[in-house]
Amino acid sequence: MSEEKKKKSLIDQLIYDNPVFGLYLGICSCLAVTTTITNALGMGLAVIVVLVLSNILVSLVAPFTPDEIHIPVYIVIIASLVTIVGMVMQAYMPSLYDALGAFIDLIVVNCIILGRAEAFASKNGVAASARDGFMMGLAYTLSVFMMGFIRQILGTGVLALKNPLTDTTLFSLRLLPNGFDIPIFTTPTGAFLVFAVLAALVTFYKNTKDAKAAAAEKARKAAEAKEKAAKAAAAKAAAAAKQAAAKEA
């Protein structure tokens, strides 16, 4: 299984093990922070940092943590990391910190982070945990970026990215003419619609790919069985020939 997993391409890993659209974890923040791509990317970066560090720390303390208190221990680790990230953001990116608001602190209870600590980091080594944390964080960032991208274009008509450190606009592109934006996509209703459509597309992709893989597997098995049958027939023929030769002799 693990051999097979390693063979998967990077994109497949991001789609198949996507925490948002594959496992449906961390949806709350995903709906709330995706009004613009600036917010989405900021949130994604914060989650990557917290996820990598928490996975590393959890994999370090897991061997000697008593089983009865492992969840409080993990939560304390995650909460400390989130507080550090939040304070750094407040100091250096105040506008982004204001835009994300409570959702920075709510990373503590984001299911992805505790989920990966429980399911992966507590059972694996430091390097593997760090890699898992980074991949999961990257998949989360990609998901929120996709949602933010669609919602910002449809909802406001403008695609703009800000540098959160200096608060200057890096680029701003009007993609829909003035008055042709659809404001419902800036509201939570629009977030649910975009989320549902993206989740459906990801599931569709997975299903078609799985069906193809299953068909390929079936074909391979059929070919194998045919080969086996042919081999058996050949062996039979050989045996018969041998017998015939022995009889003759």
Partner 1 sequence: MKLTFKPAPNYRSKQSTTGIMTDLTLCLLAVAVFAVIYYFVAYGSSMGIRVLINLCATVAAALVTEALWFKAMKKDVKEGILSSYGWVTALILTLISSVNASVYALVISTVLAILFGKLVFGGFGQNIFNPAAFGEAVVMSSFAASNADLLSGATPTVAYKGYGWISTADQLSGVIAQYGGLGKMFLGMYDSTMGSTCALLILACLVFLIVRKDIDWQTPVFYIGSVFVISLIVGLARGAGIQYALFNVLAGGVLFGGVFMTTDPVTSPVSIPGKILFAVGAASLTLIIRWKSNLSDGVLYSILLMNMLTPMIDRLMDGSQIKDSKRLVRNMLIGSCCFAAIALIVGIAAIQPKKTAAAEPAVTEVTAAADTEVPEVIISEGN
Residues that bind partner 1 (CB under 8 A): 179-180, 182-184, 187, 189, 193, 196
Distance CA 135, CA 16 (A): 12
Please, which residue, 63 or 179, has the CB nearer to partner 1?
179
Instruction: Give 100 or 154: the residue with its C-beta nearer to partner 1.
Output: 154
Nearer to partner 1, 169 or 187 (CB): 187
Which residue lies nearer to partner 1 by CB, 172 or 187?
187
Burial bucket for residue 225 (CB in 10 Å: 0-12, 13-18, 19+): exposed
The nearer residue to partner 1, 62 or 153, going by C-beta atoms, is 153
CB of 202 to partner 1, least distance (A): 16
Q: How far apart are CB 193 and partner 1 at their closest, in Å?
A: 6
User: Which is nearest to 87 in space by CA: 73, 104, 71, 70?
Assistant: 104
Q: What are the helix (H) ranges across the chain?
A: 2-7, 10-16, 27-32, 37-61, 70-92, 94-100, 102-105, 111-119, 126-156, 188-248
Q: Write down the least CB distance from residue 199 to partner 1, Å.
A: 12
Taking the complex as a whole, the smallest distance from the CB of residue 49 to partner 1 amounts, in Å, to 36
User: Could you tell me the smallest distance in angstroms from the CB atom of residue 192 to partner 1?
Assistant: 9
Cβ neighbour number for residue 163 with a 10 Å cutoff: 13
Q: Which residue has the tokens 């299903």?
A: 207
Q: Which residues contact 170 (CB under 8 A, 6 or more apart)?
A: 161, 162, 163
Smallest separation, CB 4 to partner 1 (Å): 32
User: Are 202 and 22 in contact, with CB atoms under 8 Å apart?
Assistant: yes
* Beta carbon of residue 232, minimum distance to partner 1 (angstroms, whole number): 42
Nearest-5° angle of CA 134, CA 109, CA 111? 55
- For partner 1, the closer of residues 184 and 213 by Cβ is 184
- Nearest CA among 15, 36, 38 for reference residue 135: 15
160 φ, ψ to 5°?
Answer: -135, 145
**Rounded to a whole number, what is the distance in angstroms from the first to the last CA of the chain?**
53
Identify whether the C-beta of residue 158 lies closer than 8 Å to the C-beta of residue 179. Answer: no
Smaller CB distance to partner 1: residue 203 or 243? 203
